[in-house]
Amino acid sequence: MRMKRVTLQGPIEAEGIGLHSGKTSRVLVLPSDVEDGIMIGAVNGQKTYPIGECDVFSPGRSTCVVLPGGHTVFTVEHLLAALYGMGVDDVVILVDGGEIPIFDGSAGQWVDLLQKAGLREKENTAKTIYDIYSPLYVESDSGDAWLACLPCESLKVTYVISFDNSFIGTQAFAAEVTRNTFAKDIASSRTFVRLKDVEELKKEGLARGGSLDNALVFGDNGLVNDTQMHFANECARHKALDLLGDLALAGLPLQAHVIAYKAGHKLHLRLVDRLRRLCKGGGS
């Protein structure tokens, strides 16, 4: 079935605190009538750039995009996950500040904003899907975490996590990613951290904007936040959310089954690098 490309019916404007910088930033997400994919730039910049052609890196707890002009945008994964999960192909992201707002630590508010703006199929267009014809595999340097990307007739994710905190423990989540399943089963899952890691993050200059309002914090006696879990396996679902946001950086919607075991942003980006090179015909 020929699928049309999707953009927004109207613009989105959002403002909030960055998780790692602790500073307020403003983001505009604008409809696009050209078939350039997801473009990103600065609000006052002269140019925007395809997200799939920007340099990317992870400081460990987020994913960052480096624009060709040298400007870095931190923590792009939740916004990109919302666009990717909701099937949005062509938009322009303009950032005033160095980081995408964290909101409550999930992609839920981005999905709400997308739904309020409305999604529009573009006439006389065809969505380009990136098919995987043979398996891809990447693993951590220590070999205790890995990602596999397998041929599949749709986009599926399976994510397994395992932490030494007994209240997080070992969790798994699997789903076929559609607009409905993303909005219902993935988007509202929040980022999480162990209480013992918070001080180390602060020393590294990260999580300056972190609070109990934008992250689930797990201590020795359970959840520190005065809140209820959205799902019993919310942490695994959030890792799947992060994975989808990082996969958006390949530049094309993927059709594959991606299986992750104890992975994270750095390993996600190793897979993205493989996908980018394959997409450009550079081999695996």
Catalytic residues: 265
Report the SS3 class of residue 16.
strand
Cβ neighbours around 262 below 10 Å, total? 17
| CA 193 remoteness from chain centre | 17
**Contact assessment for residue 51 and residue 248, using Cβ atoms and an 8 Å cutoff:** yes
| DSSP assignment letter at 52 | G
Two structure tokens written together for 50: 């395809």
Q: How many CA atoms lie within 13 A of 234 on its CB side?
A: 22
Report the SS3 class of residue 266.
helix
**Contact assessment for residue 73 and residue 99, using Cβ atoms and an 8 Å cutoff:** yes
Cα pseudo-dihedral 136, 139, 145, 147, rounded to 10: -20
Report the SS3 class of residue 48.
coil
User: Closest Cα to residue 114, out of 89, 92, 88, 75?
Assistant: 88
User: Closest Cα to residue 36, out of 100, 113, 108, 88?
Assistant: 88
- H or E element at residue 117: helix 108-117
User: Closest Cα to residue 149, out of 163, 132, 161, 165?
Assistant: 132
Neighbour-count burial of 225, counting CB atoms closer than 10 A to its CB (0-12 exposed, 13-18 middle, 19+ buried): middle
